[in-house]
Amino acid sequence: MRRTTTCLLAACVLLLAGWVWAPAASACSCVGGTTAEHVERADVVFSGRLLSREVAGGSSSSDPALHVFAVETVWKGTAASEQGVVSAASGASCGLELDGDGPFLVFATTAPDLPTGQLAAGLCGGTARLAADLTSEVAAATGRGPEEPGPGAVGTDLVGGPSGWAVWVGAVVATLTVAALAVTGELRRRRAPGCAHRAPGYRR
């Protein structure tokens, strides 16, 4: 049992290590999706022009990049007149790749680890330059017309987050910790005395 457990843990370490040390520049691969699917997966959908883009760090394609949009219309969820949207710095890490100031149709999500009101978006989420046919598809998917954005600026301050390296290391440590606890629990269970007891006077 111990030898089998050791081999399994070693295999997990090698597999996770391969993920950690994988080339950072490997291309992002997006699975195609319809506009309706992008709308369904997004928490917020809005159109607007890109006001600014700022990258924290800049040494890795996965460093956070903050995009601040002047929101014109909101199709799903809520967004402020100036709305911050964070993504990876490069398309190699599935970050937004926007040419010019737009206008763009942005499909964004919320996340508990982001600053209050800030949204997240990525290369594969459907964000694209605004076009009439795309707007019609969004209207059909949401079943409502465009609404005005909320007042003020929300999530427009760039907060430096952990690099992709730190995230992967944290994931490895957490995964190995869970695996070790599971194995320890299994060993203790197997070593525990049996629960079945013979009744008095029992004979084989």
Q: Residue 1's pLDDT is what?
A: 52
Do the domain assignments include residue 139? yes
Do the domain assignments include residue 40? yes
Q: Residue 194's pLDDT is what?
A: 53
Do the domain assignments include residue 30? no
137 Cβ partners below 8 Å, 6+ apart? 34, 35, 36
**Strand-pair partners of 153:** 82
Write the DSSP string, 147-185.
Answer: BPPEEEEES-S------HHHHHHHHHHHHHHHHHHHHHH
The rounded mean pLDDT for the chain is: 76
Q: Residue 193's pLDDT is what?
A: 56
Do the domain assignments include residue 25? no
Do the domain assignments include residue 88? yes
Residues of the chain with pLDDT under 50: 2-25, 161-184, 187, 195-200, 202, 204
Q: Residue 22's pLDDT is what?
A: 38
Write the DSSP string, 23-62.
Answer: -TTPPP-PPP--HHHHHHH-SEEEEEEEEEEEESS-SSTT
Global pTM? 0.66
Number of domains in the chain: 1
CATH number at residue 131: 2.40.50.120
Q: Residue 7's pLDDT is what?
A: 45
Tell me the C-alpha distance between 95 and 114, whole Å. Answer: 16
Do the domain assignments include residue 151? no
Q: Residue 77's pLDDT is what?
A: 96
- Structural domain span for residue 79: 35-144
